[in-house]
Structure formats: structure tokens, C-alpha cells
């Protein structure tokens, strides 16, 4: 049925609905209320002071204002009493809206009244009800009314909240009349029973029109389970298809000598955790299936060197390896680490391995030479930014791919680098730990390795929260540390929405610091807008200790490794997420000296103060990540909203941890025992999957 025939819709509103993607009755099945309003009797208003409620009754009187400041008053009566609904302004228009002796639903906030009615309702919305219409009277039977998100397009056609609820109700009534099942069940009976879930039909009905409030959560859980289950099913299928259908490279050469030479060249002893993950990665590399592994580790836990070992394994087997980083600074740093390492390694092993860096802004001639080297296989390890995935870049035989700080890359970018090789093994690394629930929903198809230990020479960073007023004190402390030979970062926030202003303030502060407090020292500055060779120069000077104080925006955030820097000052710390602050803080505490992180914040409210204090109390990135997600929600966790498969409408990862684990278990077990979904009991799953997740299947193939 065309929705224009639905009561309350009509031609114009149908067009508005169409523009937000609602054309069929079934589209209303996906509606999820934002809030619910309790329907109460007028006598009961007294028990709901300050709350938003819905009442229903008959207009028994309309009192027009005598003076201008006075409101128009509507008096509404039900079998339990009478209340007053005042309207300030537009009384002419309002008085025409309400007719004596007609019935209305009113939504409002319960407030104190005067005289005759002790409680009044501060008006929010209303709907006229025709009790002779069965649809209308049925609508009134429910104890709660759903309120939905109302887009501007719909508002323009005078659809108001209660009217929208009524339209959804009408649509449901219509659908039920045509089909008592309302909609297809999307989970097989054995799952519904074993996981103790309500049926799909009931969940959809009750999340919109609950009979009692507990219905809402029961229904939400069922719908959330379904979202999580199908997402995990995609992961299970993808993982299986990568493992079984695509043949990867087995890097079979013995690594005993390689490992020994590698350890010598490192100059430090690997931690147990590093050795453990190296073993996990190597086991994957030996096998014929394609590796897809996520390496998680706290800031400074030494992920880079782990990836270097894996790349050497690939190179030893005659393949090229590439590592892609989100920023040029980071690419430069990895290049310098890796090329220095290779010098050592070559001397020790007698080999002659080379590395190359590919970033934007390199001269055309150089670029051409680099392309040739890569294509001819003269470069063994290629380090770069997005420049690596340019069309012109061709590898001789790319066998191993590392994605560093991978959350900064999209699915497609990761896929593009992979496509430069022939089913290469892939290692993705995160900047900071990710809560388990998030890693299972973002990277559920990856195997996970965790480095849960920092190199032993580290002292925990001392972190303090401070106010603006104490800056002189802080600067004095900083100067003392500089005198001892240490170096300092000062970070100014640069948030995308206010980039220009932020940049200006960072630059002004830089000048000020340079000319006043730190005039006797060398102060440098970098930010995203500085052209790359200048950036290199500044970073190089900082690394070589020519610069004492480095003022920066958050470009410094990812990965920078300068062990002699021991103080991190973060201005306006309240503007960052906890994980991001932890990541910034991780720029210090990388050597054997005591390091400090000073968070400066002004006008802190209680919540933000509590939040920032977590950083003062712990250096544990895994714990911080969990807390950060609880506070900011999964969507904001990475700092930027990520689009993609993770588009839940019912799931709340903070609440649904166990539901997620259960859904994952069930999904993976199913694909294990019935990979083609051929069993009769899984037919529902197969049909629903094919009907609704074609896009996901596509993504599965490319990513
Ligand atoms: P992240 O895991 O944050 O990427 P990095 O890989 O940049 O950390 O390593 C941080 C620093 O720790 C580097 O200077 C690196 O050389 C050093 N490092 C790595 N492993 C060890 C180890 N086992 N012992 C001592 N220092 C190490
Ligand atoms: Mg790193």
C-alpha cells in the first residue's frame, strides 16, 4: 500500500516521508522510539511533577486572556479531574485549534498551577482524537506513547511528535491486518529458545508500543542481539573465506639465524610479551592461509619492532614488505628507525637489505626513481603514507603489509594496499588499546595479539591535573628539567571544527612562549599545515636535541618516539578524549628518565575533572580505553566518527557486552559447523543474510 493512503499522511506528507527514505508500510518496522511518554490520568499529575507525560481528555472550557501578558487557558477534563494547559502568545491561533467538547491527547511537562487546578501542563504537543474511530480508540489503549526522531522535512509538513506516533501506529495496525505475523522472523527457533529471546514480531511491536515498560528493554535486547549476530556472522564468514578459500603465502624459511641477528641488531632484549606476539605472528606467516591480525599494545609497548621482525621474515622469503602510516612524521620516523636498524642488521647478518620511504611532496624525479626501485624489487621494506596506495605504485612482489595506527585508515585504503600484493599477510596495529567490545565489532574478522607489558626500563609517567593559574610554577619546573638536558612537548588542541581558531591560538602561544618564558631556550613548532620538509627539519632538530621545547598540535599524537623528551604539557586537556590524551602522554616516558605529563584545563565541571583524574591515577591504556568508551560512547571513541558496518540502531556496546559475546559465539559456531548455511535449521539465517547483507558481502571480498 502506498503510505499516502495511511490516515494522517496524504500526498504532501507521503512525499516528505519519501525524501527520508520511507515509501512502504514496512519501512515503519525499522522505527525505534527515542523516548517514551507515560499516559496518566489527570488526577495522577501530582505524582509526576517535573516529568513529561501524556494525558487524554475533553476540552471543557477555553479561557481567553484579558490582558496581553496573560495566557490562553485550555481546560481538559477526564473521569478523574480537570487540569489547565496555558498558552502564552498566539492565543488567537491557538483558540482555533481546540474545540469545546472535543477529545485531545496532550503531551506536556507537569508544573505547579494556581488556584483551581493545582497542577498544570506546560504544553509540548497535542493530537485530536476521534473516539468513534477504532484506530484512535485503540491507540489510547497503550500505557506509553513512543516519541520518534522528527526530521526537518517532516516538520515542514506539520507532522508533530504525537501525530508521527499515531501514523506509525496506523501503519502497524494496517500491516497486522494484512499479515498477522507482521514480519518475517529473522532468527531460527533454536537460537530464540536457547538465547531466551522474544520473537521478532513481538519485539518490534513492543519496542514501539510497550504494554509495560520492561517490554522495551526485552525487545531492545532481542533486536540488538540480531544486529550483533549478523555482524558477527559476516566476520565469521569473512574469516573463514580468507582462511580456507584464498591461498596465501607460507613464509617457510627457518628463522633461527634471523631471530638471533635481529635480537643482536635491536640493542635491547625483547619483552616476554613481544616474544609471544612474534611467535603468534610467525605461526600465521608460516601457514598457507592469509594472515589477518590485529596487534594491540599500550603506547610505548614496542609494536614497531615486532612488525619489523615480521617484515624481515617476509623479506628473508624473497618478498617485499610495506608499512603504511597515517602521517608523514610517523613515516619519517619509522623510516629512520628501520633504516638505522637495517644498517646494524646488515653488518651482523652479512646481508644487504634496503628500505625506502614514499610520502607526498617528494620531487618528481626522486619519486620516479623510487617507483622503479620498488617495481624492480630493489627496495625490500617500503615505508610510506597514503602515497603507497597511489595507482602508480607497483611492487615486484609484496608479501607482507603492516598498517600502523590503523584506525586512521578506512576499509578501502587498507584494501588498496593489500591489492598491491598477491594475498599478502596483513598485520594491523592500533595506537592505543581498544576495548574488547569495540575491537570485536570493528575488527571482528581479525585475530588479535596483545602486548600487555612495557619494556622494563620504563618508569610510570607522573601525571598531574593543573589550572591555568599555576603555569608559572609549571614553567619553572620545566626550565629545571631542560637544564638537566630533558626536552618538552607543549600540545595545543586542534579540533577539526574550529581548526582555524585553534591554529591561530597555538601560533600566538608559540610566539609568546618563545619571546618570554623560554626566550633563553630553543622553541620549535609543528602543526599539520607546515610543509613537510620544514616539519622534518623541526622533528630532526628536536630529535637531535637542538630544540628544547616543541610546541605542537595533535599531529604529534601518533607514534612519535623521542626518548629524551620527558615532559608533556597538554593545554585545554578537557577538549580531548581520554584515549587520545593517553596516546599523547605516551610521547614521554619512553626512556629511563622519570617523565611527567601535565594536563592543563580551565572551567572544569565535576564530570570532566573526574574524567581527567583517571589519567592521573593510572597509566594502564586498556583500563583507560574501557573508561573512555563508557564515558563517550563507542561512536566517539576513535575521535572521529567512523562509518561502515557499525551502524547499530538498538545495540549499546556499553550495556550489551555479554550479548555481544553470546552472539559472536553462536555465529562462529554456526559457520564452523555449517559454513554454507545448508542445514534446514539455518535456512532463516541464510535467507535473511542474502536479502539484507549483500553490501557486506561485497565489502567482505574487498577488505
Ligand atoms: P608503540 O608500541 O607505541 O608503537 P614503539 O614501537 O614506538 O611503541 O616503541 C617505543 C620505544 O620503545 C622505542 O624507542 C623502541 O625502540 C623501544 N623498545 C621497544 N621494545 C623494547 C624493549 N624490549 N626494550 C627496550 N626498549 C624497547
Ligand atoms: Mg607506534
Task: Find the Cα–Cα–Cα–Cα dihedral 178, 179, 183, 188, rounded to 10°.
Answer: -170
Nearest to 532 by CA among 325, 338, 360: 360
Is 477 found in the same domain as 387? no
Residues 6 or more apart in contact with residue 163 via CB below 8 angstroms: 8, 127
Is 476 found in the same domain as 339? no
Q: Is residue 46 part of a domain?
A: yes
- Residue 337's CATH number: 3.40.50.300
How far apart are alpha carbons 442 and 698 in whole angstroms?
17
Nearest to 421 by CA among 582, 290, 524: 290
Domain interval for residue 404: 256-286+301-430
Is 510 found in the same domain as 373? no
How far apart are alpha carbons 635 and 646 in whole angstroms?
9
380 CA → ligand 1 middle, Å: 22
pLDDT(413) > 80: yes
Is 472 found in the same domain as 416? no
Per-residue pLDDT tens digits for 256-313: 999 999 999 999 999 999 999 999 999 999 999 999 999 999 988 999 999 999 999 9
Q: Decide: helix, strand or coil at residue 344.
A: helix
Q: Is residue 420 part of a domain?
A: yes
Q: Is residue 318 part of a domain?
A: yes
Residues 6 or more apart in contact with residue 409 via CB below 8 angstroms: 324, 326, 403
Q: Is residue 701 part of a domain?
A: no
pLDDT at residue number 645: 44
- The pTM (predicted TM-score) of the whole model is 0.84
pLDDT(529) > 90: no
Neighbours of 214 (CB within 10 A): 10
pLDDT(501) > 90: no
Is 404 found in the same domain as 484? no
Residue nearest to ligand 1 atom 1, measured at CA: 300
Residue 664 phi, psi (nearest 5): -65, -45
What residues are paired with 565 via a beta bridge?
A: 487
Class of residue 674 by CB neighbours under 10 A (exposed 0-12, middle 13-18, buried 19+): middle
pLDDT band at residue 539 using 50, 70 and 90 as cut-offs:
confident
Q: What is the DSSP string of 111-178?
A: EE--TT-SEEEEEEEEEEE-TTSHHHHHHTT-SEEEE----HHHHHTT--HHHHHHHHHHHHHHHHHH
Which residue do the cell numbers 629511563 mark? 592
Q: Which of 430, 452, 483 is the last residue of a domain?
A: 430
Residue 282 phi, psi (nearest 5): -65, -40
- Residue 101's CATH number: 2.40.50.140
Q: Is residue 631 part of a domain?
A: no
Is 372 found in the same domain as 496? no
Is 105 found in the same domain as 16? yes
Q: Is residue 626 part of a domain?
A: no
Q: Decide: helix, strand or coil at residue 313.
A: helix
| 146 Cβ closer than 6 Å to some ligand 1 atom | no
Q: Which of 570, 597, 618 is the last residue of a domain?
A: 618
Q: Which of 430, 449, 472 is the last residue of a domain?
A: 430
Is 422 found in the same domain as 326? yes
Per-residue pLDDT tens digits for 312-340: 999 999 999 999 998 888 898 899 999 99
How many separate domains does the chain show?
Answer: 3
| 301 Cβ closer than 6 Å to some ligand 1 atom | yes
H/E element, 279 = helix 272-286
pLDDT at residue number 700: 55
Cell for 409? 585508515
Class of residue 241 by CB neighbours under 10 A (exposed 0-12, middle 13-18, buried 19+): middle
Instruction: Give the rounded distance of the alpha carbon of 283 from its chain centre.
Output: 31
Is 501 found in the same domain as 397? no
Per-residue pLDDT tens digits for 358-385: 998 889 999 999 999 999 999 999 999 9
431 CA → ligand 2 middle, Å: 6
| 271 Cβ closer than 6 Å to some ligand 1 atom | yes
Q: Is-contact 228 191, C-beta < 8 A?
A: no
Residue nearest to ligand 1 atom 17, measured at CA: 302
Which atom of ligand 1 is nearest to 586's Cα? 3
pLDDT at residue number 327: 84
Q: Decide: helix, strand or coil at residue 376.
A: helix
Average pLDDT taken over every residue of the chain: 90
| 559 Cβ closer than 6 Å to some ligand 1 atom | yes
Per-residue pLDDT tens digits for 591-639: 888 999 999 998 888 888 999 999 999 999 999 999 988 887 776 676 5
Is 264 found in the same domain as 410? yes
Is 260 found in the same domain as 164? no
Which atom of ligand 1 is nearest to 563's Cα? 14
Q: Is residue 94 part of a domain?
A: yes
Query: In this predicted structure, which of 149-153, 487-491, 516-520, 573-577 has the lowest mean pLDDT?
Result: 573-577
Q: Is residue 332 part of a domain?
A: yes
Is 169 found in the same domain as 21? yes
Most confident residue range from 246-250, 270-274, 582-586: 270-274
How far apart are alpha carbons 454 and 590 in whole angstroms?
10
Cell for 247? 591461498
| 307 Cβ closer than 6 Å to some ligand 1 atom | no
Which residue do the cell numbers 586498556 mark? 622
584 CA → ligand 2 middle, Å: 12
Amino acid at each position: 500500500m502506498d503510505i499516502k493512503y495511511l490516515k494522517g499522511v496524504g500526498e504532501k506528507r507521503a512525499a516528505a516521508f519519501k525524501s527520508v527514505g520511507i515509501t512502504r508500510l514496512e519501512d515503519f518496522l525499522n522505527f525505534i522510539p527515542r523516548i517514551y511518554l507515560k499516559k496518566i490520568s489527570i488526577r495522577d499529575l501530582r505524582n509526576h511533577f517535573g516529568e513529561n507525560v501524556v494525558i487524554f481528555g475533553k476540552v471543557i472550557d477555553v479561557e481567553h486572556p484579558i490582558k496581553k501578558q496573560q495566557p490562553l487557558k485550555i481546560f481538559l477534563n477526564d473521569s478523574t479531574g480537570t487540569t489547565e494547559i496555558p498558552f502564552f502568545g498566539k492565543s488567537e491561533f491557538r483558540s482555533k485549534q481546540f474545540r469545546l467538547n472535543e477529545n485531545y491527547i496532550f503531551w506536556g511537562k507537569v508544573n505547579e498551577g494556581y488556584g483551581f487546578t493545582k497542577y498544570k501542563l506546560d504544553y509540548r504537543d497535542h493530537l485530536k482524537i476521534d473516539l468513534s474511530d477504532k484506530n484512535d480508540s485503540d491507540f489510547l489503549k497503550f500505557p506509553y506513547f513512543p516519541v520518534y526522531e522528527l526530521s526537518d522535512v517532516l516538520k515542514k509538513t506539520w507532522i508533530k511528535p504525537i501525530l508521527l506516533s499515531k501514523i506509525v501506529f496506523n501503519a502497524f495496525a494496517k500491516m497486522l491486518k494484512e499479515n498477522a505475523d507482521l514480519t518475517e522472523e529473522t532468527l531460527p527457533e533454536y537460537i530464540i529458545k536457547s538465547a531466551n529471546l522474544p520473537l521478532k514480531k513481538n519485539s518490534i511491536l513492543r519496542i514501539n508500543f510497550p504494554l509495560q515498560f520492561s517490554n522495551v528493554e526485552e525487545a531492545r535486547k532481542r533486536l540488538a542481539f540480531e544486529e550483533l549476530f549478523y555482524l558477527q556472522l559476516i566476520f565469521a564468514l569473512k574469516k573463514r573465506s580468507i582462511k580456507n578459500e584464498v591461498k596465501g603465502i607460507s613464509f617457510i624459511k627457518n628463522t633461527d639465524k634471523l631471530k638471533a641477528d635481529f635480537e643482536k641488531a635491536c640493542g635491547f632484549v625483547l619483552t616476554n610479551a613481544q616474544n609471544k606476539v612474534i611467535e603468534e605472528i610467525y605461526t600465521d606467516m608460516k601457514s598457507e592461509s592469509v594472515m589477518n591480525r590485529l596487534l594491540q599494545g599500550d603506547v610505548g609497548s614496542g609494536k614497531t619492532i615486532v612488525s619489523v621482525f615480521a617484515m624481515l621474515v617476509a623479506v628473508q622469503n624473497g618478498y617485499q614488505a610495506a608499512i603504511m602510516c597515517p602521517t608523514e612524521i610517523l613515516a619519517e620516523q619509522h623510516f629512520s628507525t628501520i633504516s638505522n636498524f637495517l644498517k646494524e642488521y646488515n653488518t651482523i647478518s652479512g646481508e644487504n637489505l634496503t628500505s625506502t620511504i614514499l610520502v607526498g611532496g617528494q620531487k618528481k624525479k626522486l619519486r620516479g626513481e623510487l617507483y622503479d626501485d620498488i617495481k624492480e624489487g630493489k627496495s625490500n621494506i617500503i615505508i610510506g603514507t597514503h602515497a603507497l596506495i597511489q595507482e602508480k605504485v607497483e611492487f615486484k612482489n609484496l608479501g607482507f603489509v603492516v598498517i600502523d595506527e590503523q584506525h586512521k585508515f578506512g576499509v578501502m585504503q587498507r584494501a588498496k594496499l593489500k591489492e598491491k600484493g598477491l594475498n599478502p599477510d596483513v598485520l594491523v596495529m592500533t595506537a592505543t588499546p581498544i576495548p574488547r567490545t569495540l575491537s570485536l565489532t570493528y575488527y571482528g574478522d581479525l585475530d588479535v595479539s596483545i602486548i600487555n607489558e612495557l619494556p622494563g626500563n620504563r618508569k610510570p609517567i607522573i601525571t598531574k591535573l593543573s589550572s591555568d593559574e599555576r603555569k608559572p610554577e609549571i614553567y619553572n619546573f620545566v626550565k629545571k628539567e631542560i637544564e638537566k638536558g630533558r626536552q618538552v612537548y607543549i600540545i595545543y588542541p586542534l579540533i577539526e571544527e574550529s581548526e582555524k581558531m585553534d591554529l591561530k591560538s597555538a601560533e600566538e602561544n608559540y610566539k609568546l612562549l618563545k619571546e618570554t618564558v623560554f626566550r633563553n631556550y630553543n622553541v620549535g613548532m609543528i602543526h599539520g599545515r607546515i610543509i613537510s620538509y620544514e616539519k622534518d627539519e623541526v622533528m630532526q632538530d628536536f630529535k637531535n636535541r637542538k630544540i628544547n621545547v616543541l610546541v605542537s598540535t595533535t599531529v604529534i599524537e601518533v607514534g612519535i618516539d623521542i626518548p629524551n623528551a620527558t615532559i608533556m604539557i597538554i593545554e585545554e586537556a578537557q577538549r580531548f578524549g581520554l584515549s587520545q590524551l593517553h596516546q599523547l602522554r605516551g610521547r614521554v616516558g619512553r626512556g629511563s628518565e622519570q617523565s611527567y605529563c601535565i594536563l592543563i584545563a580551565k572551567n572544569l565541571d565535576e564530570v570532566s575533572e573526574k574524567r581527567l583524574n583517571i589519567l592521573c591515577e593510572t597509566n594502564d591504556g586498556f583500563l583507560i580505553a574501557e573508561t573512555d568508551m563508557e564515558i563517550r560512547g563507542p561512536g566517539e571513541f576513535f575521535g572521529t566518527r567512523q562509518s561502515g558496518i557499525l551502524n547499530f540502531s538498538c545495540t549499546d556496546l556499553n550495556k550489551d557486552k555479554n550479548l555481544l559475546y553470546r552472539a559472536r559465539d553462536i555465529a562462529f559456531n554456526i559457520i564452523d559447523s555449517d559454513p554454507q548455511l545448508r542445514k534446514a535449521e539455518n535456512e532463516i539465517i541464510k535467507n535473511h543474510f542474502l536479502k539484507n547483507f549483500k553490501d557486506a558481502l561485497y565489502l567482505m571480498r574487498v577488505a
